Structure 1
Amino acid sequence: MPRDIAILDAYVPTILLLFIAGGLLTWFIDRLLALTGLYRAVWHPSLFRACLLVCTCGLLGLAVYR
């Protein structure tokens, strides 16, 4: 996989696109977890959301750069 992707004649690092995709995926998972009521059992919801973002972006990065 190339380390940079050309978008409109500008080279964009692949990890930036993965971070954007991870943010969107995390937002979707967050909405699902909020609808199911899981956040009532979580000690610190904003910390849980931050960890969910880090884990999602990390998994996407590992999948691409493996």
Structure 2
Amino acid sequence: MELREWVLGGVLLSPMLVYALLALLLTGLLRLGLQQVGVARWIWHEALFDCALYVCVLAALMATLASW
């Protein structure tokens, strides 16, 4: 697995920054989807669930996109 920096106007950006922002967006969309379906009422500790969901989404993104 390779992580290479991206050049944006002469500034090197870590791909982790892009992955983290994309994971944050996807986590928010997943949470909205869970609330719409009605599954969110079964969540015991919302902050802990949100953190765990974010980490899982970020790990999945890194596993799939870092190999490109």
- Aligned-residue Cα RMSD (Å) equals 1.4
Structure 2 CA distance for partners of 1:2 and 1:56, relative to 1, 3 Å? closer
Map 1:1-66 onto structure 2 (within 5 A): 3-66=4-67
SS class of match (2:44): coil
- Give TM-score, length-normalised by structure 1: 0.87
**% same residue:** 24
- Give TM-score, length-normalised by structure 2: 0.85
Q: Cα distance, 1:64 vs. partner?
A: 2.4
Moved segments of 4+, more than 6 Å:
none
Q: How many residues align?
A: 66
Gaps of 5+ in 2: none
Q: Distance in 1 between matches of 2:44 and 2:33?
A: 18
